[in-house]
Amino acid sequence: MKLSLHIGLASAALMAASWASASPQGRGDYLNFESPQVKPIGAATVDGRRYLFVCNTPDNSVDVFSLDKMEFPSEQVTTSPALLPADPDALDRDRGYAARIPVGLEPVSLTVATIGGVTRLYTANWLGDSVTYVKLTSPSAITDEELAFTYEIERVVHVGDEPMCLAVMSLNSGDDGHLFVTKRTASSYSQLDAETGQPTNVTDSNPSVPDASSNGADVIMTTSGIFANAFDPAALDEGTFVTPVSTPNGVMAVKEPHTVAVVGSRLWVLGQQGGGSKLLHDSNGPSNSGGEVPGFNLDLWSATIAGSGVSNLAIVPPMLNPSTAAPATAGTGTTNFNMAANASWVYVVSTEAMNADLGNPALLSR
State what percent of residues in the chain have pLDDT above 90.
28
CB 47 within 8 A of CB 268: no
Domain assignment present for 259: yes
pTM of the model: 0.75
> What domain range includes position 262?
159-361
Average pLDDT value for residue range 40-57: 94
Domain assignment present for 14: no
User: What's the domain count of the chain?
Assistant: 1
Residue 262 pLDDT: 92
Check whether 310 has a pLDDT greater than 90: no
Most confident of 184-193, 283-292, 321-330: 184-193
Q: Which of 199, 242, 200, 249 is nearest to 222 (CA)?
A: 249
Domain assignment present for 2: no
DSSP letter, residue 39 = B
Decide: helix, strand or coil at residue 105: coil
Burial of residue 310, with CB atoms counted within 10 A of its CB: 0-12 exposed, 13-18 middle, 19 or more buried: middle
Question: From CA 306, how far away is CA 64, in angstroms rounded?
Answer: 34
Domain assignment present for 87: no
Domain assignment present for 82: no
Average pLDDT value for residue range 44-73: 88
Domain assignment present for 143: no
Residue 119 pLDDT: 95
Check whether 182 has a pLDDT greater than 90: yes
Compute, in degrees rounded to 10, the torsion defined by CA atoms 197, 198, 204, 207. Answer: -170
Sorted by sequence, the CB contacts under 8 Å of residue 9 that are 6+ apart come out as none
Domain assignment present for 23: no
Distances (CA, A) of 63 to 107, 150, 339, 359: 11, 12, 23, 42
Residue 178 pLDDT: 92
